[in-house]
Amino acid sequence: MKNNESQVDKKAQPVKKLIKILKKHSGRDNSGQISVRHQGGRQKRYYRIIDFKRDKKDIEAEVIRIEKDPNRNCFIALVKYSDGELRYILQPNGLKVGDKIISSDVTDVKIGNSMLLKNIPIGVMVHNVELYPGKGGQFLRSAGAAGVVVAHEEKYTQIKLPSGEVRRFLNDCRATIGQVGNIEKKDEKIGKAGRKILMGIRPTVRGTAQNPRSHPHGGGEGRSGEGMHPKTPWGKPARGKKTRKKHHRTDYLIVKRRK
């Protein structure tokens, strides 16, 4: 991880125009009830506004510095365009301070450049891929993520995702060249329980250790097993039962499933 972190400016204060208040809801919905369990107690932090759209076209930008973003597992790069505007982008692996990048419909295949999928050659690694033209990147945004362009069709470009799935994306969608940085993030050890609390993740308790009012597995004298087919806290089967909803809206875009 040292190679990646050598360029990261850990003491840099975020640009004021590019941050906003990040409200903490601790897993509660608009009625105040906990709708997502095991959340709360997070450190205060600002949200960094990331340019996922890369819609400032044909204007060159220079990487000013690379920062750590507390809201995501990859690093972010602060870039300054030739007209003076500052923006944050996801830092691709290999992008360094002083490098020049550009966003255009067709440009050089260079790390950090953004272009239309139909103009990216087969075999090139991409990240921050749009699902709908102009909406901004939604796929391949986490640390170490990258897809490979495997084919071009009439309307679509096929990309192989890290899961092994091959999916079609519209040719006019935009993607960024390269792999998202901070690849070694997956090998990082949390180290202690207190750090999990600072991340906003509260403890998860076994069902058999709870009381019968809180969990179907609870209760009993001393240490006792589940005593039934495993259930969720809400009484539904916990193993074996399929729970995925059948949404077929974008199934036609999948060429090869991850299975």
Say what the pLDDT of residue 1 is.
44
**Cβ–Cβ < 8 Å for 61, 86:** no
> What's the CATH code, domain 2-185?
2.40.50.140
Say what the pLDDT of residue 247 is.
73
Residues of the chain with pLDDT under 70: 1-5
CA dihedral 184, 196, 71, 90 (to 10 degrees): 0
The residues pairing with 251 across neighbouring beta strands, listed in sequence order, are none
Residues contacting 194, CB < 8 A, separation 6+? none
Return d(Cα 55, Cα 112) in angstroms, integer. 14
Write out the two tokens for 259: 């299975």
Say what the pLDDT of residue 4 is.
58
Return d(Cα 42, Cα 45) in angstroms, integer. 9
Write out the two tokens for 15: 């640009």
List of long-range contacts for 165-170, beta carbons under 8 Å, 24+ apart: 165/254, 165/256, 165/257, 165/258, 166/254, 166/255, 166/256, 167/253, 167/254, 167/255, 168/253, 168/254, 168/255, 169/117, 169/129, 169/130, 169/131, 169/139, 169/253, 170/117, 170/132, 170/133
**Cβ–Cβ < 8 Å for 18, 88:** yes
Say what the pLDDT of residue 33 is.
96
Q: What is the DSSP letter of 34?
A: B
Return d(Cα 44, Cα 190) in angstroms, integer. 19
Return d(Cα 54, Cα 113) in angstroms, integer. 9
Return d(Cα 107, Cα 175) in angstroms, integer. 12
Write out the H or E segment, with its range, that includes residue 13: none
Say what the pLDDT of residue 238 is.
93
Would you kindly state where each structural domain of the chain is located, as residue ranges?
2-185
Residues contacting 74, CB < 8 A, separation 6+? 90, 91, 141, 142, 143, 144, 180, 181, 182, 185
Say what the pLDDT of residue 251 is.
85
Say what the pLDDT of residue 138 is.
96
- What's the whole-number average pLDDT of the chain? 93
